[in-house]
Amino acid sequence: TSTQGRLDTFFKVV
Amino acid sequence: MLEARLAQGNVLKKVIDSLRDLVNEANFEFTPSGITLQSMDSAHVILVSLLLRADGFDNYRCDRTIPVGINMASLSKIIRAAANDDAITLRADDNGESLNLIFEAPNAGRVSDYELKLMDLDVEQVALPDMSYDVTVRMPSEELQRVCRDLSAVGESVTINATKESINFGVKGELGSGSIAIRSTAPVDKKEGVSISMRQPADVSFSLKFLTQFTKATPLSETVRLEFSNECPMLVEYPIGDMGYIRFYLAPKVDD
């Protein structure tokens, strides 16, 4: 099973 | 004061068509070097990054950076009134309250002028790292559109991997499973060709729903570039002629 990842775990919010 | 004129107004129409289902509200940044946009959905699953360079316009004047806050549904309604062969001019004063859109028919027999009310948006921006991906694929954009359409009938998420010979898309669902391999071609066939470069293998999994939404940009470009690495967001880039690009980033599915 898998869940949808989030971009803010990869890209820094500025 | 900013003014940007594009004789090929249909490019702008296609850009807005690509964005309107993914972006509700966004700031277009008008800068002296061109127009940019960055927008992320509220669930932080997808990010859109647009660049239209100033030198790609027939006329471009912008003295300083002006954020132009736009409701995409409203812009889409107005730009639909431009015919495909109309020239489109965007014009705004420094006060940032409204954007004028002027559509001119090629024979200059019709000039339409619309004013779009702007919004004061406080939007989250992210710093996009200069990523180096393990796999880069260039393929016809219509083939990616077809893969998404066909596999969506079978399941909700697609697994993607590549070898030097092909890029492989697979899906599983309640009714069964399916896969499509797009084979790499000789470097000679540029536009219709498929090129794959790989530093190391990657096997990734993404939501087909979002990938399908990205393919709304298919009319913008005959080719699309996919870049991916294990457990990283995928980059899907449609070049916009020589003037820029629309890039989509999609967060991967992660194993529990």
**Range from B33-37, B118-122, B238-242 carrying the lowest mean pLDDT:** B118-122
Over residues B185-218, the pLDDT tens digits come to 876 556 679 999 999 999 999 999 999 999 999 9
Query: Given CB atoms, is B249 within the 8 Å cutoff of chain A?
Result: yes
Helices B72-79 and B9-19 cross at an angle (nearest 10°) of 140
**Does residue B136 have a pLDDT over 80?**
yes
Q: Do A5 and B252 touch (CB under 8 A)?
A: yes
Which residues, 6 or more positions from B201, have their beta carbon under 8 angstroms from its beta carbon? B134, B135, B161, B162, B163
DSSP state for residue B119 in the 8-state scheme: B
Q: Across residues B236-244, what is the average pLDDT?
A: 97
State pLDDT tens for residues B12-50. 999 999 999 999 999 999 999 999 999 999 889 999 999
B45: chain A residues, CB-CB within 8 Å: 4-7
d(CA B197, CA B91): 42
- Facing residue for B256 by CB, picked from A1, A10, A13: A1
ipTM summary value: 0.93
Nearest to B207 among A4, A13, A14 (CB): A4
Tell me the residues of chain B between 80 and 139 that have a Cβ less than 8 Å away from chain A.
124-129
Is some CB atom of chain A closer than 8 A to the CB atom of B230?
no
Q: Nearest-CA neighbor of A2 among B206, B253, B60, B180?
A: B253
Which residue type sits at B191?
Answer: K
Q: How far apart are CA B45 and CA B155, in angstroms?
A: 19
Closest CA to B78 of B113, B37, B36: B113
- Alpha-carbon distance of B220 to B248, in angstroms, equals 14
Rounded distance between C-alpha atoms, residue A13 and residue B72, angstroms: 23
Q: In the numeric block, which tokens belong to residue B116?
A: 């779009």
pLDDT (0 to 100) of residue B204: 95
The one-letter code for the residue type at B129 is P
Mean pLDDT calculated for residue range B146-163: 96
* In chain B, % of residues over pLDDT 90: 84
Q: Is B256 on the interface with A (CB under 8 A)?
A: yes
pLDDT of residue B189: 58
Share above pLDDT 70 across residues of chain B, in percent, rounded to a whole number: 98
DSSP codes joined into one string, B205-237: EEEHHHHHHHGGGGGG-SEEEEEE-TTS-EEEE
